[in-house]
């Protein structure tokens, strides 16, 4: 069980829902605040902010990755920077005072703050601003110094393990535990944007739980244009996910960065509502006391012991004198043996519900 402020993450607890802002703010504080507003109105538990100092994260000539549709234009500089690098450098890094403002704004909206720290400078700033949760992206997962720096916070850590081997996950978990931090959540989720349904692989969640004995969550990147984007995360819960990360943007039609898997505010609110309603259906693993409605159903649905024909007072009841039918009163079929061989105290009509007091 992991405790984050007034929330608990673990089996039997409400699913922890985190709105992933990623880079959908497009470098705008106003848009970032709109996304925080949407997460708060939807009653998400937390907002995830991605901090990246591009100079420490990526070589200037990097060009293997991708960004959202139509985003890279003519941002490359004559210094030899790739278009992607130049674009991301402008997009990703708010000033410290701006990050502080976003932290304060999110807290005013009663949101827990998670931070993806993509480099050492980001990790130190997140610590300075007192992040509630630290997240390490798959790209930085094998960076031991960064992992250990984050682990020293003693705050809960989510590990995005997409594209990571089991032996690599074992190593990262060991580094964190060596720093005295046991608050680890493995975040399963194939990180293509959007993710094909065939690649979601929800059956891997219980495997992770069994192998690592850690809490496991699901980072969903289903196409935000698909109706299934609201339902695929729900499917992860019965597989053992108790932490769901879902991308959120302020307006999908604007196609801001990271919009592919993101939901609009109205969709995100509906998604959270679906999770909370779905949770009501889970119940408990052990047999519980019947609810009032279940007792009523049992009372009216179970067959009863009734007379198969009209019988006279004093008759000795034989097995073919009784049958089982749904009736308003009477004993259940597994109690029928108490009537066999007994003498009737009174005349009974066919379909009479037999009670213990009807025989001597």
Which tens digit of pLDDT belongs to each residue from 298-315? Answer: 999 999 999 999 999 999
Could you give the CA distance from residue 94 to residue 146 in angstroms, rounded to a whole number? 20
Report pLDDT for 140: 94
Answer yes or no: do 299 and 221 share one domain. no
The answer on 347 and 300 residing in a single domain is yes
Measured distance CA(272)–CA(246) in Å, rounded: 10
Mean pLDDT confidence for 202-224: 96
Residue 263 shares a structural domain with residue 318: no
Q: Domain with 349 in it: what CATH number?
A: 3.90.1210.10
In which domain, by residue range, is 305 found? 292-358
Residue 80 lies in a domain: no
**DSSP line for 102-141:** HHHHHHHTT-EEEEEE-SHHHHHHHHHTT-SEEEE-GGGT
Amino acid 71: pLDDT = 56
135 and 265 together in one domain: yes
How big is the chain, counted in residues? 360
pLDDT at 1: 87
Domain count, the chain: 2
Chosen domain end from 245, 279, 313: 279
Same domain, 128 and 186: yes
Same domain, yes or no: 158 and 223: yes
- How far is 176 from 265, CA to CA, in rounded Å? 35
Residues 272 and 335 in one domain: no
* Last-in-domain residue among 258, 279, 300: 279
Q: Does the pLDDT of residue 146 top 90, yes or no? A: yes
Whether 116 maps to a domain, the answer reads yes
Residue 72's CB is within 10 A of a number of other CB atoms, namely 18
Q: Indicate the DSSP class of residue 263.
A: B
How far apart, in whole angstroms, are the C-alpha atoms of residue 63 and residue 87?
A: 11
Give the model's pLDDT for residue 193: 75
Does 121 reside within a domain?
yes
Q: Is 124 found in the same domain as 242? A: yes
Q: How confident is the model at residue 64 (pLDDT cuts 50, 70, 90)?
A: low
Quick one: 26 and 118 in the same domain? yes
In this prediction, residue 271 carries a pLDDT of: 97
The answer to whether residues 125 and 178 belong to one domain is: yes
User: What's this model's pTM, rounded to 2 decimal places?
Assistant: 0.83
Would residue 71 count as lying in a domain? no
Same domain? 309 vs 178: no
Identify whether residues 211 and 275 lie together within a single domain.
yes
Assess whether pLDDT exceeds 60 at residue 207: yes
Report yes or no on 61 lying in a domain.
Answer: no
Asked if residue 28 is part of any domain, the answer here is yes
- Whether 65 maps to a domain, the answer reads no
pLDDT tens digit sequence for 234-292: 999 999 999 999 999 999 988 888 788 899 999 999 999 999 999 999 887 788 888 89
> Which CATH number goes with the domain that contains 39?
3.20.20.70
d(CA 61, CA 86): 9
Q: Is residue 72 part of a domain?
A: no
Contact (Cβ atoms closer than 8 angstroms) between residue 202 and residue 236: yes
The domain boundary, picked from 255, 279, 303, lies at: 279
Residue 91 has pLDDT above 70, yes or no: yes
């Amino acid at each position: 069980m992991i405790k984050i402020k007034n929330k608990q993450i673990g089996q039997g607890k409400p699913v922890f829902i985190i709105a992933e802002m990623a880079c959908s703010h497009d470098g705008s504080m106003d848009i970032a605040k709109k996304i925080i507003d949407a997460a708060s109105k939807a009653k998400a538990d937390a907002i995830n902010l991605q901090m990246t100092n591009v100079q420490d994260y990526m070589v200037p000539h990097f060009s293997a990755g991708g960004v959202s549709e139509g985003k890279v234009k003519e941002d490359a500089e004559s210094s030899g920077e790739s278009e992607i690098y130049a674009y991301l450098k402008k997009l990703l890094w708010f000033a410290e005072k701006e990050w502080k403002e976003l932290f304060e704004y999110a807290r005013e909206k009663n949101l827990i703050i998670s931070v993806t720290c993509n480099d050492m400078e980001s990790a130190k700033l997140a610590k300075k601003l007192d992040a509630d949760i630290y997240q390490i992206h798959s790209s930085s997962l094998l960076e031991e110094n960064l992992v250990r720096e984050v682990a020293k916070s003693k705050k809960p850590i989510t590990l995005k393990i997409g594209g990571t081997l089991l032996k690599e996950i074992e190593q990262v978990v060991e580094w964190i535990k060596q720093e005295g931090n046991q608050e680890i959540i493995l975040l399963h989720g194939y990180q293509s944007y959007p993710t094909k349904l065939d690649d979601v692989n929800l059956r891997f969640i219980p495997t992770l739980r069994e192998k690592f004995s850690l809490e496991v969550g699901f980072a969903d990147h289903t196409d935000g244009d698909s109706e299934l984007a609201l339902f695929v995360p729900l499917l992860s819960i019965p597989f053992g996910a108790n932490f769901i990360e879902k991308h959120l943007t302020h307006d999908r039609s604007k196609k801001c960065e990271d919009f592919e898997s993101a939901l609009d505010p109205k969709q995100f609110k509906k998604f959270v509502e679906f999770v909370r309603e779905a949770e009501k259906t889970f119940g408990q693993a052990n047999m519980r006391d019947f609810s009032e409605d279940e007792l009523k159903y049992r009372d009216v649905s179970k067959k009863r012991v009734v007379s198969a024909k009209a019988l006279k007072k004093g008759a000795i009841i034989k097995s073919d004198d009784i049958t089982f039918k749904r009736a308003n009163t009477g004993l259940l079929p597994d109690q029928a043996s108490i009537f066999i061989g007994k003498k009737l105290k009174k005349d009974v009509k066919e379909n009479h519900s037999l009670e213990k007091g009807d025989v001597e």
